[in-house]
Structure 1
């Protein structure tokens, strides 16, 4: 069965790099047509608004792919910053890797399922940001990223949820006291 590693193997430009915690892989305005597969570590993507406030779009732990899809698809300068929240091993690959015609039907099906899963997570998050109480958003965060609460600073989780760190602390206390 073909895997992501197979896809990366057929991209002659794919390269593995190690980055230290805090390293910024891309900045707003960069011209970038790469995607990043996280072999080890943790990345995040975010924007900074006109007031200098960060808004976290997505976290990418091991096994996830992260990219500025709009930049890749439309050859636009990137809008999303991507940085390392931990020391990370990352495979950097070109968007053309997604369009290889040598993939088997099974590999295309598997990759399509993975893509739909990620799109579903993003769709649910957007809908929840528009309508769900903060406690429901936090519960969904825990379901989506069960291994991350101890790896990410609480203020970043709060930013991801669109709440203050104090509100997150209150939610966590309530959840801890519920039998």
Structure 2
């Protein structure tokens, strides 16, 4: 379980971790399991952890005033799941984070994450790369939602995340793309 995280840190940072750095990471990061439909976090709660998924799938969503769930993010192995605003600002989360499959993860508090960053240069570099990729991903998603058609969004999605199609139900993918289930079904028929 820890090896996936070690590999991730080394890949994203470009640094090889020492034995002592690995032991320090293991002392701050803890295994957690969620069964399908269990929550890592509920809307209204303060975010406590960031979670590195080693096995399974999760979703981050909010609920509108009509009770409709809106998917904000989908997560699988080697993704980090959290609500950064809640974690860093100590404010109630707007989002639910729920396991969609039985999920194994490694969790860490923000305080411990920052302690690791003070001690391990690879963590700092990994965070820089992750932040860059996160911002780029958010800009692409925002641009896609504003400037593209539903068909273009669907094609971009299946090109970037083809593995999500087998892991998440159609109504989750439709919500993530900002379309109805019926529209997604029509798009699937038109493109294949």
* Common topology (TM > 0.5): yes
Q: How many residues align?
A: 175
**Alignment gaps of 5+ in structure 1:** none
- Whether the 8 Å contact between 2:58 and 2:98 is mirrored in structure 1 is yes
10 and 136 in structure 1: CA distance in 2 versus 1, 3 angstrom threshold: same
Q: 1:80 & 1:46 partners in 2: Cα distance?
A: 5
Select the structure that is richer in helix: 2
124 and 85 in structure 1: CA distance in 2 versus 1, 3 angstrom threshold: same
Of the three residues 143, 149, 157, the one matched with 1:133 is 149
2 and 108 in structure 1: CA distance in 2 versus 1, 3 angstrom threshold: farther
Q: Does 1:119 align with 2:135?
A: yes
163 and 116 in structure 1: CA distance in 2 versus 1, 3 angstrom threshold: same
Q: 2:113 & 2:134 partners in 1: Cα distance?
A: 15
- Whether the 8 Å contact between 1:36 and 1:93 is mirrored in structure 2 is yes
Displaced runs of 4 or more, over 6 A: none
**Alignment gaps of 5+ in structure 2:** 1-5, 11-20
Q: How does 1:1-179 map to 2 (within 5 A)?
A: 3-4=8-9, 9-10=24-25, 12-99=27-114, 100-104=117-121, 106-176=122-192
Q: 1:20 & 1:41 partners in 2: Cα distance?
A: 10
Q: 2:53 & 2:97 partners in 1: Cα distance?
A: 12
Cα deviation, 1:128-161, whole Å, max 9, x if unaligned, reads 1122101111122223322110111001100111
Higher mean Cα deviation, 58-67 or 11-20?
11-20
Q: 1:63 & 1:173 partners in 2: Cα distance?
A: 31
Q: CA deviation at 1:81?
A: 0.1
- Whether the 8 Å contact between 2:40 and 2:98 is mirrored in structure 1 is yes
